Amino acid sequence: MGTADPNLAVQAAKMVVNDVSAIDVNSGCPKHFSIHSGMGAALLKTPDKLVSILTSLVDQVGDPFNIPISVKIRLLETEEKTLSLVERLVTTGIKCLTIHCRTTPMRPREPSIRTSLKKISDTCHKAGVMCLLNGDIEGFKDLDHVIEKYGVDGAMIARAAEANPSCFNSKGQIPWNEIIREYFEYCKKFDNHVVNTKFCLARMIPGKSQLYQKVAQSKTMEQIDDALNNLTEDDMNKFIHIFKSPLTLLEEQVKQEELRAKNQMLKRSAEDIIEPSKRVRFI
């Protein structure tokens, strides 16, 4: 739930309480649409408000409806500040706290910082609150390691799940060329919109393959179906990507896009130097 007001949070929670298994307060989103009105990561700067939101939700929704209330936060600038915020939050009656191991200004491609994680999970556990880790978890295979090393109870996954939704599979990940077909079958079954289907498939298909281009150019579900049913040799060669981790794949796509943008900029500066009319502009 994105919220900046305890009363509205309670009203909203009551509308969905019978349809959900838990309610998590988002205190980590750094995007403008969240922070401009005091929601998401902006709540990290107004801890009194965040505590009041959580306490109201616990008292008026969590306890009476027997549903867990939880919160997801980011790291603050120092370990001391993070721990003192966690200490306050765990006394509100929440059942779980997720720590996204990045500070608000950090971008997703910057490696997450886990140096304070053990202390954070200890602080949660002392108050009887579960602690989840978020940031750079690639799938089920990472869980044992982080549980053992940091004492966390589990993890949340975002980008790796976009790149390959089978990352939650305890028996191992399904290769991307198989998972896209399975995913597409669900899209057809549940009448998913073509734009959203394309968006999600684009995260699963390696960016350099012809299939990626074909799916990106598709305007209908039938055209996507055709593309998936007619894989070229080039696409087959790209299947080698299944041995790379989803986050590595995403990283490579981002790097390619950055490189393309840089090349365009260089091309434009070269044109500026060469074209005499523009040379005059610099003088």
Ligand X SMILES: Cc1cc2nc3c(=O)[nH]c(=O)nc-3n(C[C@H](O)[C@H](O)[C@H](O)COP(=O)(O)O)c2cc1C
Entry field: residues in the chain: 283
- Residue of 29, 96, 101, 131 marked active site: 29
Instruction: Give the footprint of ligand X on residues 54-113 (CB under 6 A).
Output: 72, 100, 108
Binding site feature residues for FMN:
72, 100, 158-159
Q: Minimal distance in Å, beta carbon 41 to ligand X?
A: 8
* Nearest-angstrom CA–CA distance, 237 and 36: 45
If one asks whether residue 28 binds ligand X (CB under 6 A), the answer comes out as yes
Of 24-32, 48-56, 206-214, 230-238: span binding ligand X (CB under 6 A): 24-32
Alpha carbon distance, N-terminus to C-terminus of the chain? 55
29: annotated active-site residue: yes
Are 26 and 2 contacting, i.e. CB atoms less than 8 angstroms apart? yes
Q: Within 170-199, which residues bind ligand X (CB under 6 A)? A: none
How many Cβ atoms sit within 10 Å of the Cβ of residue 32? 9
Nearest to ligand X of 108, 151 (CB atom): 108
Question: Which is closer to ligand X, CB of 74 or CB of 214?
Answer: 74
Q: Which two tokens stand for residue 200?
A: 């999600």
133 contacts ligand X (rule: CB under 6 A)? no
- CB 140 to ligand X: min, Å: 13
Residue span 150-169 as binding mask against ligand X, x where in contact by CB under 6 A, dash where not: -------xxxx-x-------
Query: What is the sign, positive or negative, of the torsion defined by CA atoms of 212, 218, 220, 226?
Result: negative
Does 206 bind ligand X (CB under 6 A)? Our answer is: no
Shortest approach of ligand X to residue 108 CB, angstroms?
A: 5
C-beta of residue 41 within 8 angstroms of C-beta of residue 88: no
Sign of CA dihedral 276, 278, 281, 283: negative
CA–CA dist 228, 211 (Å, integer): 7
Closer by beta carbon to ligand X, 206 or else 214 = 206
Distances (CA, A) of 101 to 57, 106, 108, 198, 219: 25, 10, 10, 30, 39
Footprint on this chain of ligand X (rule: CB under 6 A): 26, 28-29, 72, 100, 108, 134-137, 157-160, 162
**What is the set of active-site residues?**
29
